[in-house]
Chain A
Amino acid sequence: MPKILIVDDEEGIRMLYSMELQDDGYDVITLPDGNGLIEVIEKECPDCVIMDIKMKEFNGLDLLQQIRKRYYDLPVILNSAYSSFKVDLKSVAADYYVVKSSDLTELKEKLKLALETKIP
């Protein structure tokens, strides 16, 4: 069962995503911000990270750069209420960028693609 790490400072989002993704058969772990993110990745070895960008003390784009330094090929989906961060070149390092919506269809579709990706 693929393990998904959700990093979001909104508790409601963490709960909604956890329920929906668990219903779809994923194993879900969550973090409320970037504190200890690399350690959690190290320990839990998630198959994909779904990460908010605008968090209180953390910027998801900077956290993405930290992830990429150590985990070059770990799938990361940026998930923000704002589409404006797409203009930031740091977002290029994400597998996908999905604007938050109550309809999780696009997020789930991109998650599926990210998990299916294979490069020999």
Chain B
Amino acid sequence: MGEAPGTYRKLRLLDAAGLGRAIARMAHEIVESEGGTDGFVLIGIRTRGVPLARRLAAEIERTEKVRVGVGLLDITLYRDDLSTVAASPVLKKTDIPFGVEGRTVVLCDDVLFTGRTVRAAMDAILDFGRPRKIILAVLMDRGRRELPIEAQFVGKRIATSASEIVSVTFRETDGIDDVWLLDRETPPRAARRAPRMPRAPRAPRLSVSAKSPKRRSKK
């Protein structure tokens, strides 16, 4: 997503090479902890869980010579904050071209934040059938959970303040592999060099991006 209006780049969390290494490690960890690839499928949460799922699948195929099914999931219809947003969000297609019954579902997303997206995704998956188990793989875990949800496989963990935004971009969706920590712009004088400490969240701005914690249930 890059730099959202009203924010500035504070710190690069992963560059393209780091991102690639993190995904490769996650793929190996998943296969190792599951004792192989038998009966498991990857489901990416739209939008940026999808490239993560595809790359995990590609890495697994490269090392294990096994093609693992990849599904796409849009969780909009399962959001718990729908009745608080002003306009119905645009839906994207859900495409899960396999049964989940009895399978191990590896749910993939770019950033784990409040956990609300994952809750919605689990409800959605259970409407498709009863998987043997669901495990969670995220590229970035930024903490600040609002539900008792944890990821089993994590690319990188970072503690964040409420005003910060973790911005993940993938080549497939945004043209570049990159992960940045963004923060809201503060008034000019106090800004930039101020010590990093949690600030009280400011009133939501119209221009702030989708990943802003005030306006979206995740990230």
Partners in one complex: no
